[in-house]
């Protein structure tokens, strides 16, 4: 080894010993002839002192040192002089007095500062990712990620799970996104697909008799990227035979509680994890991934609104829509500019408008409220009694403001759901130290796809409906509920899973409902259906995403890109390697491929 101890491991117990350190120069200070170096390695930072009286040669070497040079230093560990200790640093009681110094590799001035915690443009960070990863927060994020994955593996290993790798070159397995394709050289015109998840493979492993499977699995989905998506991402994929829905939920609940309490005990946990029905989540929070760290529930005001004289509310109801709203405490005094801003926020998220209804004045209770205390267009059109009814429904009191929207249910839910989240954030109700996990259950099995004119799976086609819906499935597909569940936390979806179909006839019925012809079923899913004929056990599983979980557990990671060593940009580009990139003509020929420029495609 080039070192006898890590820089970050230096402690008072080493005083009097001679050590050799190696690492990167984090900072160099010249104090009237004496040079101080903060030397950094994977374990942390240690201080080295170069005194020309003690060792003129090493002092001369240290004079050349610049930030990020890779150097090796030997010397004696001594206590720092009284008053110069640094309690903020684990190594802050001691320093190494250098008697030997060696440059292992000089470095160019980095494009951004590594040691000083300054904001750096993300594009530059990604272009020089190997330097970005040297920075303290990124070191912590990736080390946390490692601990999370290790914890999961150990936890499942102790419960008889077997980790099994599944192939990356495979046939398309649908999770609702586009596949990444890999052309075959040996089979002209044939392609592998990169797995969107190991879904069918883990089901086949159940048929194989591995009753508990898990894998830290890479998944590939070619979809338009949003802030919390990457073309490839990591899941803890797991599957179990002979389980019911509640068995899977209990295992996951136990895992997440143990994981958080062990790795991030400073986080506050809501226990046990509530099970929230999908319909209730959507009606109360406007979304199936509610942030349960705070209340602000949406109330249905359709009943009150439909009898009112106010056309803004009455007309959408007459057209089959809804009126919903929620109360935000203590903001009756918001200025016109502030309420306009909220309306703008709601319109940007699809609402046709937003009624802001402050309950102002000094009335002691709702009963004493007067119309002039309500500076809102609503008050001009509806009776005081109607305002009071809305206030009672939303739970608003004097001093609060009601935020109300009308229109088609899905539009209103999306806009108000996001506005609720925004208000939670603005009012500081969404405590970043608090983790509010919940399971969302009772999802619809299918969703009507308006543009394609067909049913799509809400989860994926292998999810089983609840037993009672098989009988009339084809007659009323929209009514069926699935044995399917999501784990959400703080407004983020962390995992999806389901109890699967394990019989050929039933799987074929679902695939037919989704619009596959018998020939397509055979061609795309024949292998799975055939396996079901050979004694498939009842089974189910789930696949928690690792990236988003690490963001939630970290101190300060802002996106999943902050917890992935080499992520891609929002436009799916790897700025470090410059991928994707053109390939040589000869490679294309071998793969029987030809690139058709856009203008020739017609
Ligand atoms: N394969 C599913 C997914 O990636 C998870 C599961 O059903 O286990 O969402």
User: pLDDT tens, 236-265?
Assistant: 999 999 999 999 999 999 999 999 999 999
Q: How far is the CA of 213 from the centre of ligand 1 (A)?
A: 13
Q: Whole-model pTM? A: 0.93
Report whether residue 214 contacts ligand 1, using a CB cutoff of 6 Å: no
Residue 155 inside a domain? The answer is yes
C-alpha closest to that of 233 among 559, 520, 501 = 559
- Residue 298 and residue 269 share a domain: no
Residue ID of nearest Cα to ligand 1 atom 7: 497
Report whether residue 325 contacts ligand 1, using a CB cutoff of 6 Å: no
Q: What is the pLDDT of residues 159-184, one digit of tens each?
A: 999 999 999 999 877 777 899 999 99
- Residue 423 and residue 484 share a domain: no
C-alpha closest to that of 11 among 86, 93, 81, 82 = 93
- Residue 379 and residue 308 share a domain: yes
Ligand 1 atom showing the smallest separation from residue 500 Cα: 7
Report whether residue 199 contacts ligand 1, using a CB cutoff of 6 Å: yes
Residue 331 inside a domain? The answer is yes
Report whether residue 498 contacts ligand 1, using a CB cutoff of 6 Å: yes
Residue 182 inside a domain? The answer is no
Residue 583 inside a domain? The answer is no
Percent residues over pLDDT 90 in the chain = 86
Residue 122 inside a domain? The answer is no
User: Which range among 57-61, 150-154, 376-380, 405-409 shows the weakest confidence by mean pLDDT?
Assistant: 376-380
- Residue 323 and residue 209 share a domain: no
Q: What is the pLDDT of residues 65-120, one digit of tens each?
A: 999 999 999 999 999 999 999 999 999 999 999 999 999 999 999 999 998 778 89
User: Which range among 20-24, 129-133, 430-434, 575-579 shows the weakest confidence by mean pLDDT?
Assistant: 430-434
- Residue 414 and residue 472 share a domain: no
Report whether residue 541 contacts ligand 1, using a CB cutoff of 6 Å: yes
Q: What is the pLDDT of residues 391-401, one digit of tens each?
A: 999 999 999 99
Q: How far is the CA of 496 from the centre of ligand 1 (A)?
A: 6
Report whether residue 543 contacts ligand 1, using a CB cutoff of 6 Å: yes
- Residue 65 and residue 45 share a domain: yes
Distances (CA, A) of 264 to 99, 268, 294, 549: 41, 9, 21, 12
Residue 589 inside a domain? The answer is no
d(C-alpha 435, C-alpha 271), whole Å: 10
- Residue 271 and residue 144 share a domain: yes
What total number of domains does the chain contain? 3
- Residue 272 and residue 150 share a domain: yes
Sign of CA dihedral 366, 372, 378, 381: positive
Q: How far is the CA of 161 from the centre of ligand 1 (A)?
A: 17
Q: Domain of 71: which CATH number?
A: 2.40.50.140
Q: Kindly state the helix (H) or strand (E) to which residue 238 belongs, with its residue range.
A: strand 232-241
Q: Domain of 352: which CATH number?
A: 3.30.1360.30
Residue 338 inside a domain? The answer is yes
Residue 188 inside a domain? The answer is no
Q: Domain of 472: which CATH number?
A: 3.30.930.10
Domain that holds residue 93: 7-105
d(C-alpha 403, C-alpha 481), whole Å: 32
- Residue 305 and residue 231 share a domain: no
80: tokens are 């720092």
- Residue 446 and residue 393 share a domain: no
pLDDT of residue 602: 58
Of 105, 121, 155, the one marking the end of a domain is 105
- Residue 309 and residue 237 share a domain: no
- Residue 272 and residue 147 share a domain: yes
């Amino acid at each position: 080894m080039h070192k006898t101890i890590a820089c970050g491991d230096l402690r008072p117990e080493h005083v009097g010993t001679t050590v050799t350190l190696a690492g990167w120069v984090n900072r160099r200070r010249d104090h009237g002839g004496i040079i101080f170096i903060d030397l950094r390695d994977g374990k942390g930072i240690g201080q080295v002192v170069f005194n020309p009286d003690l060792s003129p040669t090493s002092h001369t070497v240290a004079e050349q040192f610049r930030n990020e040079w890779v150097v090796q230093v030997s010397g004696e560990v001594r206590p720092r002089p009284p008053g110069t200790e640094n309690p903020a640093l684990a190594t802050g009681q001691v320093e190494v007095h250098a008697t030997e110094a060696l440059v292992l590799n000089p470095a160019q001035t980095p494009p951004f500062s590594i040691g000083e915690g300054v904001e750096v443009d993300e594009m530059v960070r990604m272009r020089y990712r190997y330097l970005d990863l040297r920075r303290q927060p990124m070191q912590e994020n990736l080390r946390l990620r490692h601990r999370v994955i290790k914890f999961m593996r150990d936890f499942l290993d102790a419960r008889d799970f077997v980790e099994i790798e599944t192939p990356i070159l495979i046939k398309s397995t649908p999770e609702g996104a586009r596949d990444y394709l890999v052309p075959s050289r040996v089979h002209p015109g044939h392609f592998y697909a990169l797995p969107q998840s190991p879904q069918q493979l883990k089901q086949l492993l159940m048929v194989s008799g591995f009753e508990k499977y898990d894998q830290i699995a890479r998944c590939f989905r070619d979809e338009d990227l949003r802030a919390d998506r990457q073309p490839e991402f990591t899941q803890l994929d797991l599957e179990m035979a002979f389980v019911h829905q509640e068995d899977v939920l209990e295992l996951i609940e136990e895992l997440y509680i143990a994981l958080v309490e062990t790795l991030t005990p400073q986080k506050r946990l809501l226990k046990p994890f509530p099970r929230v029905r999908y319909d209730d989540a959507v009606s109360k929070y406007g979304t199936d991934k509610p942030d349960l760290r705070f209340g602000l529930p949406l109330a249905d005001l359709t009943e009150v609104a439909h009898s009112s004289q106010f056309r803004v509310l009455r007309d959408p109801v007459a057209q089959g829509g809804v009126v919903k709203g929620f109360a935000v405490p203590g903001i009756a005094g918001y200025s016109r500019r502030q309420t306009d801003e909220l309306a703008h926020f709601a319109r940007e998220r699809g609402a046709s408008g937003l009624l802001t209804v402050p309950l102002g004045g000094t009335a002691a209770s709702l009963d004493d409220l007067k119309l002039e205390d309500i500076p809102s267009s609503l008050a001009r059109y509806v009776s005081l009694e109607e305002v009071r009814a809305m206030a009672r429904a939303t739970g608003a009191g004097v001093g609060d403001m009601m935020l109300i929207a009308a229109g088609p249910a899905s539009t209103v839910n999306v806009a108000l759901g996001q506005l609720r989240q925004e208000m939670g954030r603005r009012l500081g109700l969404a405590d970043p130290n608090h983790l509010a996990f919940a399971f969302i259950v009772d999802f619809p099995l299918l969703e009507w796809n308006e543009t394609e004119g067909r049913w799509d799976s809400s989860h994926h086609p292998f999810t089983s409906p609840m037993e009672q819906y098989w009988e009339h499935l084809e007659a009323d597909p929209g009514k069926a509920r699935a044995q399917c569940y999501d784990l959400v936390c703080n407004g983020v979806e962390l995992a999806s899973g389901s109890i699967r179909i394990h019989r050929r006839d039933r799987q074929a019925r679902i695939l037919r409902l989704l619009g596959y012809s018998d020939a397509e079923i055979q061609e795309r899913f024949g292998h799975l259906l055939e396996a079901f004929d050979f004694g498939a056990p009842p089974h189910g599983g789930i696949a928690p995403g690792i990236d988003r979980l690490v963001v939630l557990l970290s101190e300060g990671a802002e996106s999943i890109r902050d917890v992935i060593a080499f992520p891609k940009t929002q436009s799916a580009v790897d700025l470090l390697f410059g991928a994707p990139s053109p390939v040589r003509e000869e490679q294309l020929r071998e793969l029987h491929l030809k690139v058709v420029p856009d203008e020739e495609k017609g």
